[in-house]
């Protein structure tokens, strides 16, 4: 990324990097068996949380790429900060941890994690998607991310701006990293 990026792009980059550092600390020292162990009483394991994030990131990026490509061909370059509108801010806030009783949803079928995936390759896959999100941000930082819309890949008929999509990705990561930390803290030592 160029050194003189706008503050909103730098902030998104910083949030992605913070999530990656958090995920590295989360996975550090865990065996595949520990990482794949679901908590007592149900819920996802650490590896399942990371698998869900990797899958969700890939699905979101796929949905965002073509609208970004079209916008570039049409010359829709940056006119405003990459911030969500008010509906987008509500949705992003809905995803922030900790989940509230009214904000717990089932994962859509195309973002559900595999059952008990092995931790090491799942963690590597998550890191790959982090690199993909950063590359998308770098490659498209000059576009009007707040003005380019894409269809939400999980909810039919809902459209978000690319800016909202990027903010959704980082908030969603924080939510499930928070969840995974709760699982890790409950693992027997």
> What is the residue-wise DSSP string for 57-121?
HHHHHHHHHHHHHHHHHTT-B--S-S---HHHHHHHHHHSSSPPGGG--PPPGGGPPPSS--HHH
| Residue range 34-38: mean pLDDT, rounded | 95
Residue 88 confidence (pLDDT): 93
Tell me the C-alpha distance between 73 and 57, whole Å.
Answer: 24
pLDDT of the residue at 93: 93
User: What pLDDT is stored for residue 103 in this prediction?
Assistant: 61
Determine the average pLDDT of the residues in 29-37: 95
Q: Is the pLDDT at 110 greater than 50, yes or no?
A: yes
**CA–CA separation, 179 vs 135, rounded Å?**
26
Q: Which of 182, 5, 20, 168 is nearest to 87 (CA)?
A: 168
pLDDT bucket at 1, cuts 50 / 70 / 90: very low
Give bridge partners of residue 159 from the DSSP assignment: 151
Higher pLDDT, 98 or 59: 59
pTM for the structure as a whole:
0.94
Q: Which helix (H) or strand (E) holds 142?
A: none
d(C-alpha 76, C-alpha 110), whole Å: 30
Provide mean pLDDT across the span 21-32. Answer: 97
Residue 74 scores a pLDDT above 70: yes
Q: What is the pLDDT of residues 79-101, one digit of tens each?
A: 999 999 999 999 999 999 988 76
* CATH homologous superfamily of 7-185: dinb family like domain (1.20.120.450)
pLDDT reading at 3 higher than 80: no
21-25, 91-95, 135-139, 169-173: segment of lowest average pLDDT: 91-95
pLDDT for 41: 86
The answer to whether residue 116 scores a pLDDT higher than 70 is: yes
């Amino acid at each position: 990324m160029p050194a003189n990026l706008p503050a909103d792009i730098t902030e998104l980059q910083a949030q992605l990097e913070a999530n990656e550092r958090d995920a590295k600390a989360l996975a550090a020292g865990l065996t595949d068996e520990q990482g794949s162990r679901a908590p007592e009483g149900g819920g996802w394991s650490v590896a399942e949380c990371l698998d869900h994030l990797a899958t969700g990131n890939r699905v979101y990026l796929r949905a965002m790429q073509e609208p970004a490509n079209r916008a570039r061909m049409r010359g829709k370059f940056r006119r405003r900060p990459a911030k969500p509108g008010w509906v987008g801010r509500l949705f992003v806030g809905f995803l922030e941890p900790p989940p509230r009783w009214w904000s717990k949803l089932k994962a859509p079928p195309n973002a559900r994690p595999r059952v008990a995936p092995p931790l090491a390759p799942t963690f590597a896959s998550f890191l790959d998607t982090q690199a993909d999100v950063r590359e998308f941000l770098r490659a498209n930082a000059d576009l009007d991310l707040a003005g380019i819309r894409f269809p939400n890949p999980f909810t039919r008929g809902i459209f978000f701006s690319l800016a909202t999509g990027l903010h959704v990705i980082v908030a969603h990561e924080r939510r499930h990293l928070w969840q995974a930390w709760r699982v890790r803290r409950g693992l027997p030592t």
